[in-house]
Chains A and B, each alone.
Chain A
């Protein structure tokens, strides 16, 4: 089970957002983060807990291992406001996603 917190995060443009994801048991670093905007395909941001996918700017930073993971987004811009999901692929199937964190403009 993957648990994300908070469910909704309100942050002002230019500030930093910190999103959390907790696994019910150790998943080592087998975790990915995705960004999803309405009407668009989800986008892979980070895999292996901390490796940015191709083309993802350095403002997105993933960290953690075991059961605790964090996605940090610095200098928030309008295009960063979206829903973010973590996903574990340590022991699959099933592949499981967190319930998502909605990042909204404060």
Chain B
């Protein structure tokens, strides 16, 4: 079964760090572009970061650039999002998603999400 499962969310204080994980099953993570997308309370979906299939090109939204780092471990078939210098505006449900170039790079597989709360 093709699926993504996120983990690692929690409650942290402003300025602290957190690492999210996205475990893939049923397909090879490195064959696809992979993304992190977040949904803050009362807001809409917001794209956060991209790791292309070659593993080299990484892109970030302006809101997280310089603070978040996307990576993957091919041996574990898992993607990560290292989040540093967290602020209250980073509070959100974080989803990982796969883009499929056979579908014009639309996001065809999503995880259930992991919640991050940044609060003092």
Contacts and interface: CB of A to CB of B under 8 A. Distances in A.
Contacts of B97: 42
Given A41-B95, A41-B112, A42-B95, A97 B47 contact: yes
Interface of B: 35, 37, 39, 43-47, 50, 59-62, 95, 97, 99, 103-108, 110-113
Interface string A51-66: 1010000000000000
Interface of A: 30, 32, 34, 36, 39-44, 47-48, 51, 53, 83, 85, 87, 89, 92-100
A95 to B, nearest CB: 4
8 closest Cβ pairs, A-B complex: A47-B106, A41-B110, A93-B59, A32-B106, A95-B47, A100-B44, A99-B44, A97-B45
A89 B110 contact: no
Nearest to B111: A41
A55 to B, nearest CB: 11
A89 B103 CA distance: 11
A96 B59 CA distance: 13
Contacts of A92: 50, 59
25 contacts: A30-B104, A32-B104, A32-B106, A36-B45, A39-B112, A41-B111, A42-B37, A42-B95, A42-B110, A44-B103, A44-B108, A48-B104, A83-B44, A85-B44, A87-B45, A87-B107, A89-B105, A89-B106, A93-B47, A94-B62, A95-B35, A97-B44, A97-B47, A98-B44, A100-B44
